[in-house]
Each structure stands twice: as C-alpha cells, then as structure tokens.
Structure 1
Amino acid sequence: MKELNSTQQAIIMSFFAPFVDVIVDRVSERVLSITAKKEPKFYTRKETAKILHVTLPTLARITKDGLLISKRVGSRILYEADAIDEAVKKQVVFKYRRA
C-alpha cells in the first residue's frame, strides 16, 4: 500500500476536519448534559456511619466538630454524598476518643 506524503495528508485532514469538529461538538454536548443533570445523593445517619465505618455517636461527634456537614430535612439528618467523598479523600481519621 502506498504511503501518503505530507501534502496529501494535509488535504485529507482539511477535508475531514469539519466532520470531526461536528462529532466532537455533539459528543461534548451530550457529556455536559448528562453531568449537568446529576442530582445530589443524600445518605441517612446509619448509611453514612456504615460508609465511614464509624458508630452513630462518633458520626454525631464528627458532625458537631464540623468535619462532616449534615442537612436537616424535617426530623431527619442527611449527609450529602459529595461531603462524604471529600472527607474520605482527605483521609480524615475518625477515631474514638475518650472525653
């Protein structure tokens, strides 16, 4: 098979460039629309304690100390998934401590 020289490659690239641009634009629009529709996920106290491998009293202390932010919805206390992920990424140690 014959190899193309640089002039032929440039001609082919200039021919396909508009098609590639359209494809890239459509893919990026779809990706942005999918990520923009992402709704925040919330966990209950029990679920959060299980994720972090701590007890409920330790979770209450963590919340009181401000290491993890909670939201109150009616009588329920909920934790946002992003806040839990951030705490895990920071590798905060949630050890039991005596008062």
Structure 2
Amino acid sequence: MTQTTGRIFDEMARLMNDAAGVAQGVRREAETVMRTQVERFLRDMDLVKREEFDAVKDMAAAAREENERLAARLAELEARLGAAPAAPAQDDGASRS
C-alpha cells in the first residue's frame, strides 16, 4: 500500500509540475499579447519619441534666443536712427474693391 501511495504522490507531483509549466507558458503568452497591444496602441496614437521632442524643444529655444537677439538689435538700430518703432499696417478692408 505504501508503494501505491508513493506512486499517487509521484503522479500528483508530476501533474502539479506540468500545471506550473503550463501556467508559466500562459503567463508569457499573455505578456507578449499585452506588450503587442500596448505597442500598437502607442503607435496608433502617433506619439513622438523623446529624442525627437528634445530636438524640437532645443530648436525652439534657439529660435527664441535668436528672435530676442534680433529684437534687441532692431531696437538699437531704431534708437540710433531716432525713429519710433513703426506700427504694423492695419487692413480694415475698406480699400478693397
């Protein structure tokens, strides 16, 4: 009887071991499917990569600095000429035919 009990325990241990292997396989498959779905979702959202964002941010900062430098230069030149800054022409639509 001890031999049959041992065999039953061996079979149960083998069954549990197989079940654990199947569970790990299912977990890996679920992770793969979830990762694929998340990647597809992010790709469909048309998000930019961090490197691209940082590059555009640096370009915008450089353009802003250049704009400020040119505005200061323009103000200096206008001050040298003694002219007031010219106001942009406003189009009221009355001159159109």
Same fold, TM exceeding 0.5? Answer: no
TM norm structure 2: 0.32
Q: Determine which structure has more spread, i.e. the larger CA radius of gyration.
A: 2
1 or 2 for the larger relative contact order (CA 8 Å, sep ≥6)?
1
- Report which of the two has the higher share of strand: 1
Higher relative helix content: 2
TM-score, normalised relative to structure 1: 0.31
